[in-house]
Structure 1
Amino acid sequence: MDVSQARARIAAIRAAGEPVSTGELDRLWAAVDTVRPENILGSWKGSAFDTGHRLEGLLATVNWYGKTFHSLSRAQPLICRGADGSLFSNVELGRGEASLWTVEFRGEMTAAMVYDSRPILDHVKRVDEATLLGVMNGKDDAEILDAGRHFYFLLERV
């Protein structure tokens, strides 16, 4: 699969809103381009793929909006929408915030958000100029890996 085929398939999955397997997402991940941390600074609206991963439900209950990368040393992984509609960094759930690094994952160096107080990394790759494909990785913890499956998400530049 090449990059243009991966982009088309990601767009089709998003448009259909149907479940997708983590195996297919693994193949799409392998086809898209790596990205440097300094190239993703800014605000991003997030969405989860429907894979049945337990984090999908958790993020829905906390009204997860997305992520904000202010600088390489200051990233907010859990921007949520409050009852009044305002956005806030949910530092309680995330047990702090994060920073951006270049980290090797599956044999490639790409941007990763490293959580300050949790054994979690959110690796991201570029789908296009306004879209990132992310995969959460960490210690084999029930919150992070669900039956050994990674949590996949999309980020769209705000």
Structure 2
Amino acid sequence: MDVHEARALFRELQERDGRVDPGELDAIWAVLPTARPEEILGAWKGGEFDTGHPLNGVLEKAGWYGKTFHSLRDAKPLICRNEAGELYSDTELGQGEASLWTVEFRGESTATMVYDGRPVFDHFKWVDDSTLLGIMNGKDVPPEGPYYYFYLERAPESGSGVRSRPGAGEGA
């Protein structure tokens, strides 16, 4: 599978009703370009892939909207909507907030969000200029998973002041 096929399959799986095979997501992950922490700063709207993981549906019930990366040391992993529709950082559910680092995962160094209050890592790779595929990993997750798979799409409120990755839209 090349990166163009991976992007097409990603979009197909994103639109699929029902379960998604984690093996298909792993195949996509394997060919996507890595991200650097400074490239993903800004606000992101999130969604998940239903792979049967125990977390599937939990974030939706909490009103999860997405993630915001203000700086490398100021990341908000659980931006949620309250009953009034206002966005806030749910530090109770996340047991704090997070920071961005470059961490090796599956033999590649890529942007990773490290949670402050949990032994949890969210690894990110680029699907396209405005979409990231994420894999949640942690201390108690065996090397073969199961992993929680999600995606982030750059939110409209990110504005034009947020840098996109260098070389975006060029070739790969």
If the TM-score is normalised by the length of the shorter chain, which range does it land in? over 0.9
Computed over aligned residues only, the root mean square deviation of the Cα atoms, in angstroms, reads: 1.4
Separation in 2, partners of 1:29, 1:148 = 14
Amino acid at match of 2:75: A
**Would you say how many aligned residue pairs link Structure 1 and Structure 2?**
154
Deviation at 1:114, TM superposition (A): 0.3
Deviation for aligned residue 1:26: 1.0
Query: Does 2:15 align with 1:15?
Result: yes
CA drift at 1:42: 0.2
Question: Unaligned regions of 5+ residues in structure 1, if any?
Answer: none
1:151 aligns with 2:148: yes
Partner residue, 2:165: none
Residues in 2 aligned to 1:61 and 1:69: alpha-carbon distance in whole angstroms: 22
Q: Give the match for residue 91 of structure 2.
A: 91
The letter for the 2-side match of 1:16 is: R
Q: Where do 4+ consecutive residues of structure 1 move more than 4 Å?
A: none
Q: Is the 8 A contact 1:96 1:116 kept in 2?
A: yes
Aligned-residue offset at 1:16: 2.6
Residue 117 of structure 1: how far off its partner (Å):
1.3
1:151 maps to amino acid: Y
Instruction: Give the Cα–Cα distance (whole angstroms) in 1 for the partners of residues 27 and 18 of structure 2.
Output: 17
Give 2:105's aligned residue: 105
Residues 34-45 of structure 1 aligned to structure 2 (within 5 Å):
34-45=34-45
Identity %: 60
Query: Normalized per residue, which structure has more strand?
Result: 1
In 2, the alpha carbon distance for the partners of 1:64 and 1:111 equals 21
The code of the aligned residue for 1:155 comes to: L
User: Which residue does the alignment assign to 1:82?
Assistant: 82
Aligned equivalent of 2:63? 63
Query: 1:59 aligns to what SS in structure 2?
Result: helix
Moved more, 40-49 or 22-31: 22-31
**AA aligned opposite 2:33:** D
Partners of 2:145 and 2:38 in 1: how far apart?
30
Relative to the length of structure 1, the TM-score reads 0.93
